[in-house]
Amino acid sequence: MERVSLERKVLSENDRIAAELRARFQEHGVLCLNFISSPGSGKTSLLERTLACLPKGERVAVLTGDIQTENDANRLKQYGFPVKQITTGGTCHLDARMIERHLADWRLDRLDLLLIENVGNLVCPSSYDLGEEAKIVVLSVTEGEDKPLKYPSIFFKSQLMILNKVDLLPYVLFDVAAAEENARKVHPGMEIVKVSCLKGNGLDEWLTWLEKKRQAQREKQPAAVR
């Protein structure tokens, strides 16, 4: 019982900070997206391809989380946008306090887009609101098409599923139709984009989705600030 009370207290405090972050993002017209997946699904590769497609003057920043190493941050820094590594030291998710702390010396009025790469895990990150506008779950074809049924919470809470590594479909036993059906059993309104970061398939569709979200976020910004 004591453990349950402590968990509720932790999540309550996290939600308070996340709400403050969300209000700040909306005030400044910043679209914040939280990318979640199993390890090795290709989140970092997706962010690499995304940053490579954005004009150099875009007001974009990235926070990337891992238990150890700054390898992902080093990969993403080469595209010329601000990047920070959040090393959790064993914690299997990012939380709102970590985001708040790492944003402390970034001016939100100089950003339009904040991309958060969460720690590779489909369970813990689903419980922690980071103040994001949307969660995006990345599922690769090297995993099982039943992942949405095994880990329903994150698929239910995500607006978009990116089905990644579709260039490998000729070489793996993966049923795309079953994966989409399973995702929509959990979340009927879920949008799905099929992508290959290696070959470039589906990147235009992903970038179109991203631009629509950015425009919608700009329209939420108070008129006096625009």
Q: Encode pLDDT of 142-191 as tens digits.
A: 999 999 999 999 999 999 999 999 999 999 999 999 999 999 999 999 99
**Residue with more model confidence, 6 or 57:** 57
Based on its alpha-carbon atoms, the radius of gyration of the chain, rounded to whole angstroms, reads: 17
- CATH of span 2-220: 3.40.50.300
Mean pLDDT of 50-71: 94
- 21 contact partners, CB below 8 Å, separation of at least 6: 32, 96, 99, 100, 103, 130, 131
Share of the chain residues as helix, strand and coil, in percent rounded to the nearest 5: 45, 20, 35
Strand order of the β-sheet with 134-140 is 83-87, 60-66, 113-117, 31-37, 134-140, 158-164, 191-194
Question: What pLDDT is recorded for position 219?
Answer: 83
- End-to-end C-alpha distance for the chain, whole angstroms: 48
All residues at 6 or more sequence positions from 46 whose CB lies less than 8 Å from its CB, including other chains: 35, 138, 162, 164, 195, 197, 206
pTM of this prediction? Answer: 0.93
